[in-house]
């Protein structure tokens, strides 16, 4: 070991500690509750509840069957425990599975709700939308407003709540629903398939480049409920779409469950870009409250030369457990996964991706950046599997962890399986703390330690931030700043 | 079917016989091993850390255990030729699982104490009592099974300040007329400021009989002690090996383990290293050349529970034909251990379409002021380098061999004594050009 290194003091500068402490103590700014009339069904989960949800949404028989089968399967499963998180045994009977803000009149939104979304910076009125982003706003279990639907419809793009899609395009939904994430996939997928409420449905027809960013905004408002959204995105041959997802929840002492499913189909030469800025309530400093974010996201690159890109910025949730995955079935298809996960206080995140190469000459890239502060635990868990018939494949994985406190943890659990000799897989991971030499260098040039920490963290996450659509990149950067650096911009 | 049950039944039926031939200190460990085993089961393929290996199937055949300590007619001369030229060692033999220490070896030792457990129970009972089984109880069901059935083993005891002038060579020969399980055990106790180099080689004589080598090695390194352990496996396609090496390191100790597999059937190597002392350093190296239906699976676990210690792991695999390789490694840095440096590397060459590699390098870190990283690659030979050599008149197979050898070079170069290093270069060269297995009498002949 390097002698010189040993002589340097173990404690870093107190000033730096303070900044980090400030950062860690930042309050959650979306923690307000909106006082709106909400219709909630009683707590508990049984077959009648599943039937009741289905009836509330006037669903066809086949969908009820789908739900009931999923529910029957769910009853045979046990809550998984393999994640590197301390997820308590959840009482699934103590949750209400459907909550909907009451509409004043048909088609009209509660002004309180409009105000809520204004506070969150999400325009529900089309004229206010500057960025030309179509929004599907979902509160608790229902979609309250989808903007620009008509304009998109002119191009043949379908962008609507999934409950509407079940009514208006049943064949399309039936063809794709549950085909990438079958109801039997895992515990939470089965639960979601049984009780899912709303979510977005996107269909981009052949050859259409969606002219605006599509986005859905999820908000949990009601207490003692869970949100089980379901999103289905289909990009037909040569289509392109960029889809964004954002989420917030009020501050509460209790833990709320969010178990979503996202399914994506990418056909020949089509491209889907899916970006998430996840900012669910992370709980307070001592780890009280917060959302359990247990999500199954998976995309299928079905066509040749198709491309799917996942970008995620994870700053919220008490416990995050999610692995946006890609199945590369089409030859020459491409998948990307870019992730920044920031955990602080008592947050725990176990996130990563799965890249399953089935087609020939498929390529995937994984860039994961973890930042842990406070007493948090941050894990990357990933799988790269190259099937024997998938020749000429390429994967590059890089996962870096930055530790901002000596009480936090950073972990890496990658799994790599290669079944042939013409594929190349590379994996690299590093774990380190903020480089004191870099801070010193900045200090020398008149940059305060506070700014230096900000610069370094932003620089560290830049590779991922650059992949986000412009509007979101700004939000994500801001989020990272508030979450982490206090006054640092 | 639970493959463990047959061994539990065997023990229950014959515990009297088994314990009669074993020292009391070993017998004392059996009840807790039995308790572990009755509630355990062997992992199946696909389970966590067993992505490629089905241990249940490995233990399923009805292996015989040499309960009555019968001496098998093994001719040590056949393997005596397996020495390393220009290297004088203290040579010890283990035939199946019966250790033999020759007079010559005893005379050559000069400082280090090497005894069978039976001898050590009289001469150094305190050493055995303090260390035997202390680390192995942290292991999995296979380590417990070894504890349950082991009847003897070797103790290498380095009293404080002693340096072994000559390397100690452990020649393990497996030879049996019917399916046999050899239950081997080695305990290395290196007290403060002692230094020892150990060479272990595994051979199988004869073929056509399936045998299993169940091995547990425990190493305790006192302050500033150094232990080098080179583990060379050159058995045959009928040999299965499940080996676990446990090590505990105290302040300033240095441990180097180099596991080399050239020929084998199925191998599972477990490394469980507890780095408990400040400034202790660990080097864990592995090199596997596998072809045919060879199967090599390595699992390493390094726990750093003291500040300022370092570990370096590098496992390299070259797989051809239908060979299967697997690596699962974990580095754990506990809370309050600043200035730890840990690296974990796994580089693999898949040289045929049917070769398979599974790898899972993991880091679990609870302290911020550390440097920890891992790197994994799975790929093929560099086509440009191949082209370069061919333009210069080197035939394709020669170019391939040169590149593969170069790929392995850094693992061999970290061997800390010259003679063995040269020998390994030579062996690897022979392994790649296919002449290693062609010699009938002895696998390692010159």
Query: B241-268 b/e with 16+ CB inside 10 Å = b?
Result: bbbbbbbbbbbbbbbbbbbbbbbbbbbb
Decide if pLDDT at B439 tops 60.
no
A417–B358 C-beta distance less than 8 A: yes
Q: Are A281 and A248 in contact (CB under 8 A)?
A: yes
Rounded Cα distance between A399 and A431, Å, is 9
Of A22-36, A166-180, B432-446, which one has max mean pLDDT? A166-180
pTM of the model: 0.82
Nearest to B359 among A5, A416, A419 (CB): A416
In this prediction, residue A7 has a pLDDT band, given cuts at 50, 70 and 90, of very low
**Do residues A412 and B332 make contact, with C-beta atoms less than 8 angstroms apart?**
no
Would you say residue A8 lies in a domain?
no
- Total of domains in chain A: 1
Clarify whether residues B85 and B134 are in a common domain. Answer: yes
Residue-wise pLDDT for B130-144, tens only, equals 999 999 988 888 999
* A275 vs A243: CA distance, rounded Å: 6
- The H-or-E segment that residue A73 falls in is helix A61-75
Indicate whether A74 belongs to any domain: yes
Considering only residues B394 and B110, tell me which one the structure prediction assigns the higher pLDDT. Answer: B394
Nearest CA in chain A to B376: A427
Please calculate the CA angle A461-A378-A286 and round it to the nearest 5 degrees: 110
Is the minimum CB–CB distance between B369 and chain A shorter than 8 Å? yes
Domain that holds residue B442: 399-446
Q: Residue A369: which of A344, A347, A345, A352 has the closest Cα?
A: A352
Does position B343 have pLDDT exceeding 50, yes or no?
yes
Could you report the per-residue pLDDT of B195-213, keeping only the tens digit for each? 999 999 888 887 778 889 9
- Does B358 sit within 8 Å of A407, measured CB to CB? no
Q: What's the gap between Cα A432 and its chain centre?
A: 25
Q: Which of B351, B349, B355, B353 has the alpha carbon at shortest distance from B408?
A: B349
Q: Do A388 and B380 touch (CB under 8 A)?
A: no
Binary contact (A409, B373; C-beta < 8 A)? no
What pLDDT, on a 0 to 100 scale, did the predictor assign at position B222? 95
The ipTM estimated for the assembled molecules is 0.76
Model confidence at A24, pLDDT cuts 50, 70, 90, reads low
Shortest alpha-carbon distance between residue A395 and chain B (Å): 10
Rounded Cα–Cα distance for residues B205 and B234 (Å): 10
- Which of A7-11, B16-20, B331-335, B425-429 has maximum average pLDDT? B331-335
pLDDT band at B183 (very low <50, low <70, confident <90, very high): very high
Residue to test with chain A: of B373, B378, B381, B400, most A Cβ within 10 A: B378
Q: Residue B254: is its pLDDT beyond 90?
A: yes
What's A3's DSSP letter? H
- Please name which of A2, A13, A93, A132 lies closest in space to residue A448, comparing C-alpha atoms: A13
Higher-confidence residue of B272 and A488: namely B272
Host domain of residue A184: 25-484
In a domain, A4, yes or no: no
* Contact check, Cβ <8 Å, A1/B359: no
Q: How many domains does chain B have?
A: 2
Residue A3 lies in a domain: no
pLDDT for B283 equals 93
* pLDDT band (50, 70, 90) for residue B3: confident
Q: What's the sign of the alpha-carbon dihedral A450, A454, A460, A461? A: positive
In this prediction, residues A149-167 reach a mean pLDDT of 85
Q: Do B380 and A424 count as a contact with CB atoms less than 8 A apart?
A: yes
**Which chain B positions have a beta carbon within 8 Å of A421's beta carbon?**
350-353, 355, 380
Q: Token pair of B300, please?
A: 């390493």
Shared domain check, B422 and B348: no
Kindly report which listed range (A125-139, A369-383, B152-166, B245-259) carries the lowest average pLDDT score: A125-139
Question: Among A408, A416, A419, whose Cβ lies nearest the Cβ of B360?
Answer: A416
pLDDT in tens, A202-219: 999 999 988 888 888 887
Predicted confidence band of residue A13 (pLDDT cuts 50, 70, 90): low
Q: How sure is the predictor about A77, in pLDDT bands with cuts at 50, 70 and 90?
A: confident
3-state secondary structure of B409: helix
Which tokens go with B426?
A: 């030579």
- The β-bridge relationship of strands A261-266 and A230-235 is parallel
Question: Which H helix or E strand runs over A136?
Answer: strand A133-139
Residues B375, A6: C-beta atoms closer than 8 Å: no
Helix (H, G, I), strand (E, B) or coil at B254: strand
Q: What is chain B's alpha carbon radius of gyration, rounded to the nearest angstrom? A: 21
Residues B45 and B170 placed together within one structural domain of the fold: yes
> Which among A100, A196, A202 has a CA at the least distance from the CA of A146?
A202
Predicted local distance difference test score (pLDDT) of residue B445: 39
Distance, CA of B349 to CA of B340 (rounded, Å): 30
| Mean pLDDT (whole number) for A390-417 | 88
Radius of gyration from C-alpha coordinates of chain A:
22
B335 three-state secondary structure: coil
**Same domain for B189 and B124?**
yes
Reduced DSSP (H G I as helix, E B as strand, rest coil) percent helix, strand, coil of chain A, to 5 = 25, 35, 40
Q: Indicate if B407 and B342 belong to the same structural domain.
A: no
What pLDDT is recorded for position A144? 64
Distance CA A90, CA A257 (A): 9
Q: Quick one: B293 and B425 in the same domain? A: no
Contact criterion met (CB below 8 Å) for B4 and B36: no
Position A488 scores a pLDDT of 31
Sorting pLDDT into bands at 50, 70 and 90, what band is A386? very high
pLDDT score of A1 more than 50: no
Test the B interface: residue of A412, A424, A432 with most B CBs within 10 Å: A412
Q: Compare A358 and A101 and report the one with higher pLDDT.
A: A358
Q: Which of B152, B173, B112, B181 is nearest to B25 (CA)?
A: B152
**Cα separation of B144 and B241, whole Å?**
15
Q: Are residues B285 and B337 in the same domain?
A: yes
Does residue A148 carry a pLDDT above 70? yes
Helix (H) or strand (E) holding A114: helix A111-120
Q: Are residues B295 and B369 in the same domain?
A: yes
Helices and strands (H and E) in chain B: how many: 12, 20
Q: How far is CA B316 from CA A178, B215, B296, B348, B407, in A?
A: 41, 22, 11, 6, 8
Q: Verify that B408 and B331 share a domain, yes or no.
A: no
In chain A the first and final C-alpha atoms are separated, in Å, by 38
Length of chain A as a residue count:
489
User: In this predicted model, which residue has the larger pLDDT, A249 or A73?
Assistant: A73
Q: What is the DSSP letter of A153?
A: H
Of B356, B371, B375, the CB nearest to A427: B375
Report the distance separating Cα A63 and Cα A81, nearest Å.
30
- Torsion sign, CA atoms B388, B393, B397, B402: negative
**Residue B72 pLDDT greater than 70, yes or no:** no
CA dist A136 and A117 (Å) reads 11
Of the candidates B51, B310, B379, the beta carbon closest to that of A424 is on: B379
**Same structural domain, B93 and B197:** yes
The pLDDT value recorded for residue A408 is 85
**The pLDDT of residue A483:** 59
Place of tokens 């909630």: A40
The per-residue pLDDT for A11 is 43
Which range has highest mean pLDDT (A175-179, A221-225, A457-461, B306-310)? Answer: B306-310
Q: How far is CA A271 from the centre of its chain?
A: 19
Residue A150, in any domain of the structure: yes
Is A411–B351 a contact, with Cβ atoms under 8 angstroms apart?
A: no
Domain boundary residue among B380, B398, B416?
A: B398
Beta-bridge partners for A410: A378, B365
Residue B1's pLDDT is what?
57
What digits encode the pLDDT tens for the residues B79-132? 555 555 556 778 888 888 888 888 777 877 888 999 999 999 999 999 999 999
Q: Could you tell me which of B415, B420, B317 has the C-alpha nearest to residue B82?
A: B420
CA gap B80, B159 in Å, rounded? 29
Is it the case that residue A444 has pLDDT exceeding 90? yes
Residue B312 has pLDDT above 90, yes or no: yes
Residue scoring higher pLDDT (A177 or A127)? A177
CB B218 within 8 A of CB B187: yes
Q: How confident is the model at residue A138 (pLDDT cuts 50, 70, 90)?
A: confident
Q: What pLDDT is attached to residue B306?
A: 94
Using DSSP's 3-state secondary structure scheme, residue A333 falls into coil
Q: Could you tell me if B253 and B225 are in contact, meaning their C-beta atoms sit under 8 angstroms apart?
A: yes
- Closest by alpha carbon to B67, among B2, B152, B139? B152
Does any CB of chain B come closer than 8 Å to the CB of residue A404? yes
Phi, psi (degrees; rounded to nearest 5) at B226: -125, 135
Q: Are residues B375 and B424 in the same domain?
A: no
Backbone φ, ψ for residue A21 (5° rounding): -65, -45
Q: Where are the alpha helices (DSSP H) in B81-168?
A: 103-109, 117-123, 125-131, 141-149
Residue A99 and residue A250: Cα distance in Å, rounded?
Answer: 15
CA angle B78, B184, B154 (to 5 degrees): 85
**Strand duo A424-433 + B64-65: pairing:** unpaired
User: How far is Cα A97 from Cα A71, in angstroms, rounded to an integer?
Assistant: 13
pLDDT for A211: 83
Over residues B341-359, the mean pLDDT reads 90
Q: Say which range, A48-52, A128-132, B81-85, has the weakest mean pLDDT.
A: A128-132
What is the structure's pLDDT at B44?
86
The pLDDT, as a whole number, for residue A110 is 65
Parallel, antiparallel or unpaired: strands B324-333 and A200-204: unpaired
> Would you say B367 and B337 are in contact if contact means Cβ atoms under 8 Å apart?
yes
Query: How does residue A12 score in pLDDT terms, banded at 50, 70 and 90?
Result: very low
Residue A6 lies in a domain: no
Q: Say what the pLDDT of residue A486 is.
A: 38
pLDDT at residue B71 greater than cutoff 50: yes
pLDDT for the residue B388: 93
Share the mean pLDDT of chain A. Answer: 81
Task: Using the CB atoms, write b or e for B345-369: b if 16+ within 10 Å.
Answer: bbbbbbbeebbbbbbbbbbbbbbbb
A209 vs A151, A163, A214, A399, CA distance in Å?
Answer: 14, 24, 12, 32
What CA–CA distance (Å, rounded) separates A67 from A191? 9
Contact A182, A69 (CB under 8 A): no
Contacts of B384 (CB under 8 A, 6+ apart): none
Partner-chain contact B338 A388, CB within 8 Å: no
Is A416 an 8 Å CB contact of chain B? Answer: yes
* pLDDT confidence of residue A484: 56
Q: At which residue do the structure tokens 């045929």 appear?
A: B352
Average pLDDT over residues A249-270: 85
- Say if residue B387 is in the same domain as residue B404: no
d(CA A8, CA A5): 6
Q: Is the pLDDT of residue A145 over 70?
A: no
């Amino acid at each position: 070991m390097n002698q010189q290194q040993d002589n340097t003091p173990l404690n870093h500068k107190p000033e730096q500690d303070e900044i980090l402490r400030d950062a860690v103590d930042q309050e959650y700014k979306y923690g307000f509750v909106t006082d709106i009339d909400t219709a909630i069904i009683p707590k508990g989960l049984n077959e009648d509840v599943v039937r009741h949800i289905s009836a509330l949404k006037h669903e066809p028989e086949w969908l009820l069957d789908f739900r009931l089968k999923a529910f029957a399967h769910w009853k045979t499963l046990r809550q998984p425990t393999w994640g590197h998180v301390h997820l308590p045994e959840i009482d699934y009977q103590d949750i209400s599975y459907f909550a909907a803000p009451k509409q004043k009149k048909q088609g009209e939104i509660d002004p309180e709700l409009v105000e809520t979304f204004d506070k969150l910076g999400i325009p529900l009125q089309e004229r206010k939308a500057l960025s030309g982003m179509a929004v599907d706003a979902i509160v608790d279990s229902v979609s309250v407003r989808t903007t620009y639907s008509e304009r998109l419809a002119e191009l043949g793009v379908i962008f609507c709540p999934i409950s509407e899609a079940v009514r208006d395009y049943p064949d399309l939904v039936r063809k794709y629903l549950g085909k990438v994430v079958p109801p039997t996939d895992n515990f939470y997928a089965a639960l979601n398939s049984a009780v899912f409420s709303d979510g977005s449905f996107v269909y981009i027809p052949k050859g259409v480049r969606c002219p605006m960013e599509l986005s859905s905004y999820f908000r949990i408002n009601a207490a003692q409920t869970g949100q089980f959204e379901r999103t289905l995105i289909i990009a037909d041959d040569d289509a392109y779409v960029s889809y964004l997802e954002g989420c917030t929840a009020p501050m509460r002492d209790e833990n709320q469950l969010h178990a979503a499913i996202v399914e994506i189909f990418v056909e020949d030469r089509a491209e889907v870009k899916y970006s998430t800025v996840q900012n669910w309530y992370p709980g307070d400093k001592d780890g009280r409250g917060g959302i359990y974010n247990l999500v199954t996201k998976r995309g299928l690159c079905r066509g040749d030369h198709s491309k799917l890109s996942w970008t995620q910025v994870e700053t919220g949730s008490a416990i995050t457990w999610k692995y946006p995955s890609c199945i590369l079935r089409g030859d020459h298809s491409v998948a990307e996964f870019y992730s920044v996960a920031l955990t602080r206080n008592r947050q725990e995140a176990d996130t990563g991706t799965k890249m399953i190469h089935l087609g020939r000459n498929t390529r995937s890239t994984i860039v994961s950046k973890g930042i842990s502060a406070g007493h948090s635990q941050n894990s990357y868990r990933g799988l790269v599997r190259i099937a024997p018939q998938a020749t000429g494949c390429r994967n590059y994985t890089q996962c870096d962890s930055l530790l901002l406190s000596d009480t936090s943890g950073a972990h890496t659990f990658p799994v790599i399986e290669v079944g042939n000799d013409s594929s190349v897989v590379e994996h690299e991971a590093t774990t380190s703390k903020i480089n004191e030499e870099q801070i010193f260098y900045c200090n020398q040039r008149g940059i305060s330690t506070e700014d230096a920490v900000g610069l370094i963290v932003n620089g560290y996450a830049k590779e991922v931030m650059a992949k986000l659509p412009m509007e979101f990149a700004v939000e994500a950067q801001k989020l990272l700043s508030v979450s982490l650096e206090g006054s640092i911009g | 079917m639970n493959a463990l049950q047959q061994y539990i039944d065997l023990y229950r039926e014959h515990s009297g016989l088994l314990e009669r031939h074993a020292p009391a200190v070993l017998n004392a460990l059996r009840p807790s091993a039995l308790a572990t085993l009755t509630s355990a089961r062997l992992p199946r393929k696909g389970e966590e850390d067993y992505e490629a290996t089905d241990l249940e199937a490995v233990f399923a055949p009805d292996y015989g255990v040499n309960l009555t300590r019968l001496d098998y007619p093994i001719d040590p001369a056949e393997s005596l030729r397996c020495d390393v030229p220009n290297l004088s060692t203290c040579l010890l033999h283990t035939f199946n699982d019966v250790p033999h220490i020759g007079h010559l070896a005893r005379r050559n030792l000069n400082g280090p104490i090497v005894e069978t457990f039976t001898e050590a129970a009289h001469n150094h009972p305190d050493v055995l009592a303090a260390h035997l089984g202390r680390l192995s109880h942290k292991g999995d069901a296979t380590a417990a099974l070894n504890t349950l059935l082991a009847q003897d083993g070797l103790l290498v005891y380095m009293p404080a300040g002693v340096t072994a002038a000559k390397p100690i060579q452990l020649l393990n020969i497996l030879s049996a007329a019917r399916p046999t399980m050899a239950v081997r055990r080695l305990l290395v106790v290196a007290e403060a400021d002692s230094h020892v180099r150990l060479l272990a080689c595994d051979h199988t004589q004869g073929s056509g009989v399936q045998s299993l080598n169940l091995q547990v090695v425990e190493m305790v390194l006192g302050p500033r002690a150094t232990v080098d352990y080179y583990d060379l496996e050159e058995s045959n396609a009928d040999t299965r090996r499940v080996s676990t090496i446990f090590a505990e390191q105290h302040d300033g100790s240095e441990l180097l383990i180099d596991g080399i597999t050239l020929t084998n059937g199925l191998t599972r190597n477990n490394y469980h290293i507890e780095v408990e002392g400040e400034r202790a350093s660990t080097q864990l190296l592995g090199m596997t050349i596998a072809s045919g239906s060879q199967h090599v699976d390595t699992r390493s676990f390094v726990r750093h529970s003291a500040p300022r210690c370092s570990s370096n792991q590098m496992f390299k695999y070259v797989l051809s034909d239908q060979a299967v390789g697997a690596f699962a490694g974990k580095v754990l840095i506990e809370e309050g251990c600043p200035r730890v440096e840990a690296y974990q590397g796994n580089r693999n060459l898949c040289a045929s379409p049917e070769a398979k590699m599974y790898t899972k390098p993991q880091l679990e870190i609870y302290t911020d002021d550390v440097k920890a990283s891992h790197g994994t690659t799975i790929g093929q030979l560099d086509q440009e380098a191949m082209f370069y050599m061919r333009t210069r008149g080197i035939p394709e197979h020669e170019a391939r061999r040169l590149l593969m050898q170069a790929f392995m070079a850094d693992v061999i170069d970290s061997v800390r004594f010259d003679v063995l290093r040269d020998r390994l270069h030579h062996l690897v060269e022979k392994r790649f050009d296919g002449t290693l297995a062609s010699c009938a009498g002895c696998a390692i002949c010159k």
